[in-house]
Chain A
Amino acid sequence: MFGIGLPEAIIILIILIIIAVPAAIVILVIWGTRRRADRSVKDQHSIFCTRCGTQNAAIASHCDRCGTLLLRPQPSGIAAGAEVPNYLAQAILVAIFCCVPFGIPAIVFAAQVNGKLAAGDYQGAGEASKKAKMWCWISFWVGLGCGVIYLAFVIIGAMAGRSY
C-alpha cells in the first residue's frame, strides 16, 4: 500500500515544493521584519522610570535601578490589555484539523500573548498576537492548498478512469 511508484513520487515532490516554497518565503519575511524592528528600537530614545527617574535603555522592560516595570505609551491600535486577541482557539483548530505542523508556532505565540499581557507588556503582546494570527492563516492556507491538490488529483484520476 505504501510502495512508492513514479507517479506517486512526482505527486510527493509537487506537494513538497508547494509547502517548502511558501515556508521559505515566510521565514525570510519574518527574518527581515525582525531585523527592521531591532533597528527601529535602537533608534528610539531612552525611557525614564516613573518611580525613581532613572534613565533606561530603549529596549529595557524593567528599570535598571529599582526594577519597576517601565510603562510606555501604548500604540493607538491596542486600547486595553484584555482586548489583545491571542487566537488560541484558531491555533488549536488549525493544529488539529489542518494536519499541518504550522499550528504549533501559532500555539507558541498564543501563549506568548497571554504571558506578555500578564507581565504588562502590551506592545509585545500585540506583536505576538499578530504572529499568532499569521501562523493560523499560514496553516489554514497550506491545509486548503493540500485539499485543492488532492481534489485536482481525484478529478484527474476520475477522468483517466482510475479510482482512488
Chain B
Amino acid sequence: MDEVCVSKSIAGQRALRLKSLAVFVVGIVAFYFLYTFNPASSTLYVPCPFHALTGLYCPGCGSLRSLHHLLHGNLTIAFWLNPLMVVSLPFLGCSFLSYILGGIRGRPLPNIFVPASYIWVYLGVVLLFWGLRNISAYPFSLLAP
C-alpha cells in the first residue's frame, strides 16, 4: 500500500486538490444562486425531468425550494417541501466537508464505514417515500412538495 501511495503521491495529491477545489467552488456558487433566487418563482432552475415527463413527483422534487428556505432559516417550510432531503443533508454535508478536508490534506480522509444494512434501509425509505408522496390522500399529501 505504501508503494502505491509513494508512486503516485505527487500527481495524485495535485489531482485531488484540484478536484476538491472545483467541488468547493461549484458548491459555493450553487448556494449563492439558491440563496438569491427562489426556485418557486424563477425560471433559472431546470425543472425536474421526471416530473415534466410523468407528472409524478420524484424523491428529489422540492429539494431546491427546500434548500432555498433552509438558507433563509425557514426550517419548517424547508422540511415539508422535501423531508427526505433535509434528513439526508447532515450525511451529505459531512461527506462534502470530509472531501474538502481531504483535498486540503492532499490525501483522502479514511471514510466512515456505514453498515450495508443501513444503506438497504435507506434505499427502502427512498422508494417508500417516492411511492407515498404521489398519493393525494390526506396523510400522504403532506409529503408532496
Residues on A close to B: CB < 8 A?
2, 12, 15-16, 19, 76, 79-80, 82-83, 85-86, 88-89, 92-93, 95-101, 104, 107-108, 110-112, 114-115, 117-118, 142-143, 146-147, 150-151, 154, 164
Residue from the set A86, A114, A118, A150 with the largest chain B CB neighbour count within 10 Å: A114
Contacting pair B91 A92 (CB below 8 A): yes
For the complex, would chain B's binding face be called helix, strand, loop or mixed by DSSP majority?
Answer: helix
B122 close to A (CB within 8 Å) = yes
B40 within 8 A of A: no
Contact of B46 among A85, A114, A147 (CB under 8 A): A147
Contact A107 B122 (CB under 8 A): yes
Q: Write out the residue numbers on chain B whose beta carbons fall within 8 Å of the beta carbon of A99.
A: 48-51, 58, 60-61
Taking a contact as CB atoms under 8 Å apart, the answer to whether A16 and B53 are in contact is: yes
Interface size class, chain B = 35 or more
Stretch at the interface among B10-18, B69-77, B110-118, B132-140: B110-118
Does the CB pair B91–A89 fall under 8 Å? yes
Judging by beta carbons under 8 Å apart, are A111 and B95 in contact?
no
**In the complex with contacts A79-B1, A100-B49, A95-B91 CB distance below 8 A:** no
- The contact of B116 among A76, A80, A114, by CB within 8 Å, is A114
6 nearest A-B residue pairs (beta carbon): A89-B95, A115-B116, A111-B119, A99-B48, A146-B49, A96-B60
Residues in chain A near residue B119, CB distance under 8 A: 86, 88, 107, 110-111, 114
Asked if B126 contacts A88 (CB within 8 A), the reply is no
Residue contact A95 to B126, C-beta cutoff 8 Å = yes
Q: What 0/1 readout, one digit per residue, does chain B (40-60) give for beta carbons within 8 Å of chain A? A: 000100111111110100111
State whether the Cβ of B127 lies closer than 8 Å to any Cβ in chain A: yes
A2 to B85, CA, bound (A): 27
A sample of 28 inter-chain contacts (CB < 8 A) reads A12-B52, A15-B52, A19-B49, A76-B4, A79-B4, A83-B110, A89-B96, A92-B88, A92-B122, A95-B59, A95-B126, A96-B82, A97-B60, A99-B61, A100-B58, A104-B123, A104-B126, A107-B119, A107-B122, A107-B123, A107-B126, A111-B119, A114-B113, A115-B116, A118-B115, A118-B116, A146-B46, A146-B49
Contacts of A115 in B (CB 8 A): 116
Question: Given the complex of chains A and B, what is the CA–CA distance between A14 and B82 in angstroms?
Answer: 29
Q: A85's closest neighbor in chain B, by CB?
A: B111
In the assembled complex, the CB of B30 is this many whole angstroms from the nearest CB of chain A, namely: 9
A117 to B110, CA, bound (A): 15
Interface residue B92 (Cβ < 8 Å from any Cβ of A): yes
**Residue numbers in B under 8 Å from A143 (CB-CB):** 49
Q: Which residues of B contact A142 (CB under 8 A)?
A: 49
Q: How far is the CA of A114 from the CA of B111 in the complex (A)?
A: 11
Expressed in whole angstroms, the Cα–Cα distance for A107 and B113 within the complex equals 15
